[in-house]
A and B are shown apart, each in its own frame.
Chain A
């Protein structure tokens, strides 16, 4: 069984909500990435999303844009992002890692080469922000033999009949984008999210995670009531780059992650 399936199975059995954390590979430094992943897992993150920096992150808000820019200055690419996952896997063989990024670096590496590299590195899933299912057939077919899930996004603007299509062509889990907007935005409406997640649940058995705009344990708890897992990104990225020493940053993200996990565990 894949690490993602095992994790969501374990959560379901324990009637526990999952916490998915996002940081960008190589931000604030390349040396921080593996220790940060370890901290997140240790503090209770169930799935680790690792952002692959891109020059033109058109769906991301200011926090993740800046994070991406810092990582690019550190020379981080899709290849080095995979290397970080491989290094992390030497210490942790159970927590699923999902790469999240944009299509062009994957095309530049070559779909087949990417699938091999990701698999060898211990990557479990992939989210490509600018790849709707209509354009995803080729990538999905090269990922399948390696058991790498292609995780699709559902938006507040996605009509009901399209949610079914997305549910049928995605795997691993569905990622519900909780706002019309970019990552880290401020106007999350919990009632709206509830309604939409409920209708997604009607058409799929895939776990539904909710992200974009969840920053505090309070929002996390409210959203976790309806979702199988929540995703926190911008808040962690900001915390990670706020302090000057690595030790302090690691302590801070550990604290935030523990608080988030505590707040949703009981939901």
Chain B
């Protein structure tokens, strides 16, 4: 059902590898569940009713297609190029995350699994998972680091409203990576009844390819909308990269359009000259974490480093293995944007366009501003506005010294 890239270089291979990256580095207990998921997913791809259900849910429940909007005042403030926003913030639940949870919920039903678990950082994936679980009538537990619970309170309450149990994780750095460790421990323990909805193009095979496929609706729509609206493909695509699902979803359908430049934006935190960032593609080395071989933030002994980003959704020491591959091949350029630059873009888009972006997406906006500054008037840039910023208002207000 999903349009795959033509040619012999279709990745991943049958074992889930993107070149040297990806694969399956998990405890033996999980291997049979991953085999089952791979099989069920493959069957679903060959089944027209699955495609129909997925598309119907996206249209009627999520509200797709999401608009492609030209942000003229924002563009005029930051530079010369035309800037378009792919409005994933307008999806039901306010971010791109729901595209994937809709797809995986359908698969969970096919596997007869009545319990859903997920990890979440910013809470967007947690909310999107709690949402589909509510719709399935399935029991749902969302693991969330206690640091993230503190900085994303509105989403925590939303998940509870949706009937999910939010399980605080106090181990390690108390952020997304620790939530993922805990979700994996739960999955190993409850493997017969439970489907684990990983929220990014990360984790063991088949998650990176499956989540990419579900998210590639973003790029498919965007490609058509560009041709329809401006009669050409964009010159550049820009998206933020934590695990990298919104970026992979936007980029994937354009990978063969060699004239379309692609920029993934990692969280530069307090700057790449410090250790306080979350940019494994720019400041990390390849290694194995959470089921895949990919770029990681780790020390010389292979221990995973604490990361920092103002944005909980980007505060993760790893990245999806396909991004690792695309970095090495040079097809996608990966840049970093600091907390401060992202905050500036957050305010600027709010004031110039009346759109409050998620802090994650604000990283992509900041990069678009940099790109546009040294660009030309005829350049067309598409930014993936992956989520809305309501969840971040409290954190931003606190930085302003205002308590809500």
Which residues on A are within 8 Å of B, measured CB to CB?
A: 54-61, 65, 69, 72, 77-79, 102-109, 129-132, 134-135, 152-159, 162, 166, 177, 180-182, 185
Contacts and interface: CB of A to CB of B under 8 A. Distances in A.
Contact of B27 (A69, A129, A134): A129
Contact of B28 (A78, A105, A177): A177
A239 B302 CA distance: 28
Given A58-B185, A77-B303, A155 B28 contact: yes
Interface string B21-33: 0011111111111
Nearest to B177: A56
Contacts of A152: 28
B85 interface: no
Given A130-B25, A135-B23, A158-B32, A108 B301 contact: yes
Contact of B26 (A106, A108, A130, A156): A130
A59 B185 contact: yes
Contacts of B190: 180
Main secondary structure of the interface of A (DSSP, over half): loop
A61 B24 CA distance: 21
Interface stretch (B57-65, B212-220, B242-250, B290-298): B290-298
Given A56-B177, A103-B288, A107-B288, A132 B301 contact: no
B271 to A, nearest CB: 23
Interface of B: 15, 23-33, 171-172, 177-178, 180-181, 184-185, 188-192, 285-291, 296, 298-304
A185 B185 CA distance: 11
Nearest to B192: A180
> 4 smallest A-B Cβ distances: which pairs?
A108-B302, A105-B302, A155-B29, A77-B301
Contact of B288 (A57, A130, A162, A181): A130
Nearest to A77: B301
A108 B300 contact: yes
Contact of B303 (A105, A134, A157): A105
Given A109-B302, A132-B26, A154-B28, A104 B185 contact: no
B287 A56 contact: no
Contacts of A154: 28
Contacts of A131: 25
Given A61-B185, A104-B287, A108-B298, A132 B172 contact: no
B183 to A, nearest CB: 9
A175 to B, nearest CB: 9
A132 B29 contact: no
Contacts of A155: 27-29, 31-32
Contacts of A58: 27, 180-181, 184-185, 290
B284 to A, nearest CB: 12
Contacts of B291: 130
Given A56-B181, A180-B192, A181-B189, A157 B25 contact: no
Contact of A185 (B177, B189, B192): B189
Contacts of B290: 56, 58
19 contacts: A54-B302, A56-B181, A57-B181, A58-B185, A59-B27, A65-B171, A72-B303, A77-B301, A77-B303, A108-B287, A108-B300, A108-B301, A108-B302, A157-B30, A157-B191, A158-B32, A166-B28, A177-B27, A182-B188
A132 B189 contact: no
A130 B285 CA distance: 19
Contacts of B299: 108
Contact of A134 (B24, B33, B288): B24
